[in-house]
Structure formats: C-alpha cells, structure tokens
Chain A
Amino acid sequence: MSDFLLDLSSNKRARATIQRLGLPIPMPESLRRGRGALVERPLHDAKVLVAGPVSGELHGVIAGTVARAGAEFGAIESAQEVAAYAEAGEAYGRPVKALPLEPTAKGRYRALVFDASTLDTAEELRALYDVVHFWIRSLDKSGRLVILGRPVSEATDVRQAGARGALEGFVRSCAKELGRKGSNATLIRVAKGAEDRVEPLLRFLLSPESAYISGQPFDLTATVKAPSAPIPRTRVLDGKAILLTGAARGIGKATAKRLAAEGAKLLLLDRPADGELLAEVANGLDGAEIVLADVTDPEAPTLIAEAARKHFGGLDGVVHNAGVTRDKTIGKMKPALWDMTLDINLAAINRINETLLDGVLRDESRIVLLSSIAGIGGNVGQTNYAASKSGVIGVTQALAPLLAKRGIAVNAIAPGFIETRLTAAIPVATREVARRLANLSQGGLPVDIAEMAVFLLSPGAFGLTGSVHRVCGGNLMGA
C-alpha cells in the first residue's frame, strides 16, 4: 500500500518536471520522523525562533524546553528583552542570536515558537501577525510552528476571550499553509497553574515524533495529580508495565515496538487466530508477555488482570487499540455487523477498564483509547464504526475526572488516514481522496500513532486528560 505520489515526490527529477509543467498534482513532502527511540536532544544544533511580547508568561518554560532540547535560539525583536532566553542560552552554551522583525538573511529554522499568553485584545493579535508574516517562509521543511496561549474559559473579560479564541483559527489556517512543506502548526492552551506541565508536550510537538500532528490545539490542565518522580526525557516508559490490545499488526504492532524501545514491559493481547503473528511481535521485544483472547470474551478482563498480576504485579498503562470495521450502510447492515463492531470497539473497552481499575492499574497510570476521525466526522457505511469511536470519546471524557486524583490520565487518539491493512481494504478512489484531503497531503504511518501513544503513556503527559488528540496530518474529515 505505498503512496504513489509520495514516492513520485521524493524523486527529484519527477518533482521538478511536474512543477515546471505546472501540473496540478499534489507533491507531498517526505516527513522527517523520529529514529525509533526518544533522544536526549531532539533539536541538537537546530535553530529555533522564539518570539512574543516581553509580558509573555510562558517565555521561561519555552526557554528551558528549547535549551534542553539542544537547540540554538534566534530571538525576534521583543523576545530579545526576555532574560530567560539569555539565561537558558548561557546555561547550555547556546548564545541567543538577536533577529530583527524583518529577516535580513535567508535562514532555515526548525521551529518558530510564539508566546501568545498575554495577547488580550484583537489589536494585540497584530504582534502575532507581524512575526509569523515575516518568518513563516524561513521555516525548514518538516518544520514546526507552535503557539502557546491561555484557555478561552479562563478569560476575565470578553475581549480577552476573543483574542484567546482567535489563536485556534489562526493555527488551523497556518497548518493548512504549512502542510505542503511537510510542516505543522499546533496550539497549546495552558491553564493557569499548568505552566510546569508545558515542557514535555512542547518538546514532543517540536520533535520529529510529532510529524503527523497538524493544526491541533492541546489543552494543558493541572487536573491530574503530578508524578512523584522526576520526569524522564529518554526511555520514558522504563519499567512501566503496559497492556496493549490488538498488538499483532498495523498500529498495534508499531506501538508495541515503540513502547518496548522506551523501556516498557508489555502485555500484548490479540485474538487466538492471530496467535502466531502476536508471538512474532512478542519475540522481538524484551520482556513482553502474551495474552491470547478475544476482547469480547466475557473472561477476557479476568484473564488480562491475572496475567498482569502474574507477570508484572499490576499495570502502569493500557492502550485500547483492538478495533474492527464492518462497513455497510445502516439500511443494509445486518445485526451481526452492528453487534460485533460495538462490542469490540466500545463495550469490551469498558469491561476491561472496570476490571483493571479494581486493583490492577496503579496510581499515576495512563489510559489511552483509540478513537478515529471517522468517529468525529462520520462516514458513509460506518454508522457502527463511528458510533463506537465517538463512544470512545465519551468514555475518555467521563473517565478522566474520576481518576485524576490518583494521578491517572485518560486520553484518546483519533488517527486520520493511516496506511494499514484496514485502510488498504478501502476502494482505491476513496482511499486516494482520503489521503489527499489533509494538510500534509499524505497518509500517516502506524508509527505516527505509536509516537502519540508513547507520549500519552509517559509521565510527561500529566498535563493532558479527558481529551481526544487527532493524529491526522490535518485531515479535513470531522475537522
């Protein structure tokens, strides 16, 4: 199932010819992705632009994050007056380069980070326009634009609410413009009191691992009880026992690999029919254990709980990845197709969660559920699938507040079009359209979902809970 246009686009001569002939063929950019394990300095020697009014409240966390990620600072205009950048630069041997508002030289910057936390009126938004207007073309391919702001719900007056709300539309549009360069734009809305939770998320959004996240807002809150130990930057799942369902192929298989690379001890589950495939996956991983069961089996939750207790004494994370499609327009859908889809994709998740939350899942655990952009936007022939996947969102939103005091975060991932066996089954015309109607003009890879799972399972994700996070390359469906 390779992407023909992606292959064509990476051929320099083909690309040049198409562009010269002015053919209206989208040329998706090959994305810079992670190397299979998180590294200490993902932005080593990269140049990052920092900007924002001096009054910005988040410059400090931005400075620390960017410095620790190994990057060089280019501070635009008023950001130069912010001591935090000079201090971070001095501490890490990255002297800050002062840049004028209008660039004088051609530069290739990995990212542009803007602290918009104190833009309080429509007039003040002009500061954002100024910087991005001049510097967006200086972003490298597979670059990042990250804007940090505050939540609309916390605004103290209507004007401030308006300015805060504006950031989302701005970011979504920038993401659409940046897509053709393989670059992304994202927004982090930092609730008051959640400033110390910014670093891991900002670092993730600036790293190659977030290649397929485009145009998304993230709401950072201080709801979840903070982890007791210092937050690691590499081998982030060291020693964590994690249950992963549907691990035999596709997204599950890629996720298993990534989780193990971050030090996780895995409990892998799939149907007995896929036992051999699952064994293959498990054999390649250190310390991975298997449970062969159908998630809908009434005994499954107990089997899982017993296996978890036996091998690991408990669990530190769950990824509900097992899922099926049984497409048919609702008028023609037989009951079996409905029942199966709802049972596997939604009911089973609840049964398993209930059992695990009764003494298996430890405090400070992480629960990750797989939703889908079809769940958000709907699809012809997928009433059952979309119902189950949007049901998953409901579960996420309801479960999160119940577990926050235990330090457990609950999040959902909504994959866009990911190149797997599931999507290869889609008729070619529909598939092609589904791929292209995204900012990045291409499908994602299973590893893109795996990277999001790694982040959401890590201690550093303690600022996110109860939310759905699209990893869709800016797909139009349900956006």
Chain B
Amino acid sequence: MKEITINVIDEQGEAHKLKTPIEMGLNLMDVLRSHDLVEGACGGMALCATCHCYIESSHKLSDQKDDELAMLDQLFSIDENKSRLACQIPITELIDNITVKIAPVD
C-alpha cells in the first residue's frame, strides 16, 4: 500500500514526521488524531474547528466548501492564507510531504 509523509509541527513547536497510507479514505484530521495531535471532536463534519491547522508548505489543496469557510471565519486564530480544517483535507498523493502546523484552540 502506497504511503505518503506528513510533517507536523505541534502546538508546542515540536516536529513530527508521520507516514500514512493513501488508499483508506482517511482525511488529515484522522491521521493527526490517531497520533494525538488534534482533538477532532466532531468527527470530521467541519463543526468544531478542533482540527484547525496552518498549511506551511506550498501544496495546492482541494477547494474549501462553504461549511469549512464558515467555520474558519469564526475563529480568532485564523490565518487567511494558511488556515484549513484538517478534516476537510483528504489524504491523497497530492499532499505528500506537506507541512502543517497545529493552530491554538480558540
């Protein structure tokens, strides 16, 4: 099974290098949550923003849907150029070697 690498900077600034398969229908929140890096309270429905992260690399990601944009719009820690909800980013080859920074919880 093909794997990709995800580089994560946690809330304390510590770096993690994660490997994850691409053929299991996971999203980025699933992977981060399985390593206890985000809470992912709502289970991936863009309802809670407990998987808010900043995309630090220049990867081109899938477009944001209204639910995600509306949720991000309410956050105080938003960075308009970098903020994403990890639950809305599918794990595919397109994000291989991406670098994400976990945002502080609002």
Instruction: Decide whether A and B assemble into one complex.
Output: no
